[in-house]
Amino acid sequence: MAEAVLEKVNDPFADNPLVVDMQSITKRFGTVEALRGVDFQVRKGEVRALMGDNGAGKSTLIKVLTGVHTPTTGQIVFDGENVQINSPADARALGIETCYQDLALIPLMSIWRNFFLGRELTTDIGPIKWLRRKEMAVQCRESLKDIGIHIRSAEEKVGKMSGGERQSIAIGRAIHFGAKLLILDEPTSALSVKETGKVLDYIRAARDRGLPVIFITHNVNHIYEVSDSYTIIRQGKSVGTYLKGELTQQDIADLITGAREK
Amino acid sequence: MEKVTLRVRLLRLFENSAIAGPLITLIAIYVLSWLFVPNFATWRTLSGIITAVSISGIVTIGITILMISGEFDLSLAPMIAMSGYLFGSVSVGADNLIVNTLSSWGLPATVGQGNIPFAIFLGLGVPALMGLVNGLILIWTNIPSFIVTLGTRQIYRGLVWIVAGAELLQVLDEPFVYQVLNGKMEGLNDYIRTNLIGPEVRDRVNFRYATLWLIGLVTIYQTLLVRTKFGNHLFAIGGNEGAARTQGVRSARARVTGFVISGMLAGFAGMVQFSQFKSVRVAEQTGIELTAIAGAVVGGALLNGGYGSVWGALVGVLLISVLRSSVILLKIPFVPADNFPAIVGVTIIASVIFNNWLRNRSTS
């Protein structure tokens, strides 16, 4: 079965503790079975790509992990503890940060306001939560610099930035807020080749900090560049998890489409 | 570092501030009117414009807050009327349906005896409640607020009709609170009359306290929007609700709060208005929502949310009011006083085009 593959080869992360351990997850929407007993594990320090065709169930699986959907059956162990993730807020509280493809930032707001949105630094005067604006602007700039993202000014509006710059700010934000797990939903789908390269660099920067990354994608090339391993989902089931270099690109494409069984 | 020229600095100002464009337009139109419109350059016109703006300005603050969060409220006029009836009746103890009913419920309203604190409580509280109902319908049904409030606008008008007993309310007494809310600023008016106008010139001046309330409220709410977490969340919800929610912003709560605030401000406007005219009718201020929306948009707010400022909206209503006065004073054939909205319409479109042009220039 799927997990057997991971164990029999030489896995550099095999000794690391499990961060995510999703066990026989099923999810039913009415009569549609979107997930049919998926096991999915990610260890500390690895970049895992999650692949699958449209409608294969990869987004549903991630939404179960980020609290957008609750699983019909199955359980989730996160960081060694059995958890119930009922809302995106629950997921964030656990340290699961997600960068959604089109739901990451607010174009009309400045970089620092986006960066701290929902986690503003405030001085409380009775019921009034006064923003510590200077402090947030400085912290935002500094922490983006730490990850290698240079911005002109934290006051600049996000709408003026390129897709790659936006994506990197969203990733930088997730790293800054001490995520234990970073999930990227199609982070490169709308980017130019050059910008994609940058985003992949930030993913490496996250890994270098020991932050595990799950990265949903269609693009086989990106997996080859940045991920340590990949899980392929098809028709609501996990086809398998493979280490980088174990399969050729053609193998991967065949497994995604189901042209060939493993 | 790049060299920052004056031109770049000016462009940055436009880019970072929603108010710069409308302010330029206002100054330009004001100067043009001052130069070319007969009788415009008088204290009477200036104080008239400012007093008129004071009441619509208070309503516009609320509309702007809602528009920033991507919402509208078309039911503010009945809230103004409701507040006028409740505040007016209870503040003097009028012998009418309102006071009689309240006292029969054992509430502190007595015929012939004003109860100022209770009048203020009702004048602010009931419209706030009406705003709350709008907000709750919105989040429970997910119907756009434009439609929800188009409905409640009629319902609330009906409620006011019932509460008012379908009658005009007029009072003769003048409790001190009316002075505080919107009395004449006699000191200032006298000073201007004696020192700036002089006895030989035929001019009058009439500044009122509502202007001070407006300036205070504009300052408070602009600060609330830009400097507090709540304000930050309103911009975020209007800008991209989905993104705001994924970052843990409690969208429903913030939006409902916006409706309560705008209801309360409409209530305050109703009290200020009643203090000036000492009368209120069921159809009071019908259509003021659209003027307020126009003001907010002229002042740089975006119709689909996420952008705008209370300062800008104030400039917007001022601009509309200046134009109204100019058009009336110009006595253009076919555009008598009653037909000035035609000119205002042109200006709204023109100034939004100008704002967009400025913004695009400064962002590229």
In a domain, A114, yes or no: no
Say which residue, B213 or B333, is predicted with more confidence.
B213
Identity of the residue in A89, A107, A122 whose CB atom sits nearest the CB atom of B229:
A122
Q: Which of B16, B240, B363 lies closest to A106 in CB terms?
A: B240
Instruction: Give A131's pLDDT tier (boundaries 50, 70, 90).
Output: very high
The rounded percent of chain B whose pLDDT value lies above 70 is: 93
Q: How far apart are CA B312 and CA B22, in angstroms?
A: 7
Looking from the CA of B168 toward its CB, the CA atoms found within 13 Å total 5
pLDDT for B14 equals 64
Other residues' Cβ atoms within 10 Å of the Cβ of residue B290: 13
Confidence of residue A7 (pLDDT cuts 50, 70, 90): very low
Distances (CA, A) of A171 to A28, A197, A215, B273: 31, 14, 12, 52
Q: Once rounded to an integer, what is the mean pLDDT over residues B86-95?
A: 95
Tell me whether residues A88 and B242 touch, CB distance under 8 A: no
pLDDT at B335: 64
Range of the domain at A54: 2-105+179-257
- A13-33 pLDDT, tens digit per residue, is 778 888 899 999 999 998 888
CA distance A123 to A113: 16
Predicted local distance difference test score (pLDDT) of residue A1? 42
Considering only CB atoms, which chain B residues are within 8 Å of A169?
none
Whether A2 has a pLDDT exceeding 50, the answer reads: no
pLDDT averaged over every residue in chain A: 85
Structure confidence by residue, pLDDT tens digits, B98-148 = 999 999 999 998 898 999 999 999 999 999 999 999 999 999 999 999 999
Cβ pair B268, B58 in contact under 8 A: yes
Judged by a CB distance cut-off of 8 A, whether residue A130 touches chain B is: yes
DSSP-derived letter for residue A215 is E
CB contact under 8 A, B229 and A103: no
Q: Is residue A51 in a domain?
A: yes
Output the pLDDT for position B16. 61
Beta-carbon contacts below 8 Å between A and B? 72
The answer to whether B228 contacts A131, with C-beta atoms less than 8 Å apart, is yes
CB proximity A121 to B under 8 Å? no
Best mutation target among B246, B251, B356, B360 (most A Cβ atoms within 10 Å) is B246
Length of chain A: 262
pLDDT of residue B15: 61
**B212, B211, B216, B235: which is closest to B65 by C-alpha?**
B235
Cβ–Cβ gap A104/B363 under 8 Å: no
Q: Which of residues 79-98 of A touch B (CB under 8 A)?
A: 88-89, 92, 98
The answer to whether residue A148 is domain-embedded is no
A127 in a structural domain? no
CATH of the domain at A188: 3.40.50.300
Residues 6+ apart with CB under 8 A from B242: A100, A103
pLDDT, tens only, B274-284: 999 999 999 99
Q: Please, where are the H alpha helices in B96-199?
A: 97-104, 116-141, 145-164, 176-182, 186-191
**Considering only alpha carbons, which residue of chain A is nearest residue B243?**
A103
Cα–Cα dist B78/B145, whole Å: 16
Cα distances (angstroms) measured from residue A14 to each of A45, A207, B205, B270: 11, 16, 85, 71
**3-state class of A41 per DSSP?**
strand
Amino acid (one-letter) located at B357: W
Nearest Cα of chain B lies from the Cα of A80 at a distance, in angstroms, of 25
Report chain B residues whose CB lies below 8 A from the CB of A100. 242-243, 246
Q: Return left, alpha or beta for A177; rule: phi > 0 is left, psi -120 to 50 is alpha, else beta.
A: alpha
Q: Is there a domain that residue A118 lies in? A: no
HSE value, Cβ hemisphere, 13 Å, CA-based, for A114: 33
| CA neighbor of B60 nearest in space, from B222, B231, B281, B279 | B222
Question: What is the per-residue DSSP string for A42-97?
Answer: EETT-EEEEEE-TTSSHHHHHHHHTTSS--SEEEEEETTEEE---SHHHHHHHTEE
Closest CA to A98 of B245, B187, B225: B245
Interface contact flag, A103 B246, Cβ < 8 Å = yes
Asked whether residue A232 is domain-assigned, the answer is yes
Cβ contact (<8 Å) for A92 and B16?
Answer: no
CB–CB of B236 and A89 under 8 A? no
For B307, name the nearest residue in chain A, comparing CA atoms only. A108
Rounded-to-integer distance, Cα B14 and Cα B22, Å: 10
B363 contacts A92? CB cut-off 8 A: no
pLDDT in tens, B14-44: 666 667 778 888 999 899 999 988 888 889 9
Q: In whole angstroms, give the CA distance from residue B185 to residue B182.
A: 9
Say whether B229 and A108 touch across the interface (CB within 8 A): no
Q: Give the residue among B344, B311, B310 at the shortest CA–CA distance from B325.
A: B344
Stretch B299-328: mean pLDDT: 89
CA–CA distance, A253 with B273 (Å, rounded to integer): 71
Over residues A133-142, mean pLDDT: 94
Residues 6+ apart with CB under 8 A from A140: A111, A112, A115, A116, A154
How many Å apart are CA B47 and CA B207, to the nearest integer?
A: 5
Which H or E run includes B353? helix B340-363
Q: Output DSSP code: residue B195.
A: I
> CB neighbours (10 Å) of residue A1?
7
Q: Averaged over A72-91, what is the pLDDT?
A: 89
Q: What is the pLDDT of residues A165-201, one digit of tens each?
A: 888 888 888 888 867 899 988 877 777 888 888 888 8
ipTM of the complex: 0.85
How large is the C-alpha radius of gyration of chain A? 19
Give the model's pLDDT for residue A205. Answer: 83
Q: At what angle do helices B20-36 and B310-330 cross, to 10 degrees?
A: 20
> For A68, which residue in chain B has the nearest alpha carbon?
B246
For residue A106, which residues of chain B lie inside 8 Å, CB to CB?
A: 235-236, 239-240, 243-244, 306
For B360, name the nearest residue in chain A, comparing CA atoms only.
A160
**What is the C-alpha separation between B85 and B39, in angstroms, rounded?**
36
Question: Which CATH number, 1.20.120, 1.10.1740, 1.10.3470, 3.40.50, labels domain B6-363?
Answer: 1.10.3470
| Distant-in-sequence contacts of A86-89, Cβ < 8 A, 24+ apart | A88/B245, A88/B246, A88/B248, A89/B248
Mean of the per-residue pLDDT values for chain B? 89
What is the domain partition of chain B in residue ranges?
Answer: 6-363
Q: What is the CA radius of gyration of chain B?
A: 22
Question: Which among B120, B363, B226 is positioned nearest to A161, based on CA atoms?
Answer: B363
Domain count for chain A: 1
Above 60 in pLDDT, residue B235? yes
Inter-chain CB proximity A100 and B246 less than 8 Å: yes
pLDDT over 50 (residue B220): yes
- Percentage, residues of chain A above pLDDT 70: 94
Alpha carbon of residue A135 to chain centroid: 28
Residues in contact with A172: Cβ distance below 8 Å, sequence separation at least 6, in sequence order: A115, A143, A144, A147, A149, A202
In a domain, residue A88? The reply is yes
- Beta strands, E only, B198-356: 279-280
- Candidates A68, A87, A108: best to mutate against B (most CBs of B within 10 A) is A108
Residue A251 domain flag: yes
* Contact across the interface for B248 and A122, Cβ inside 8 Å: no
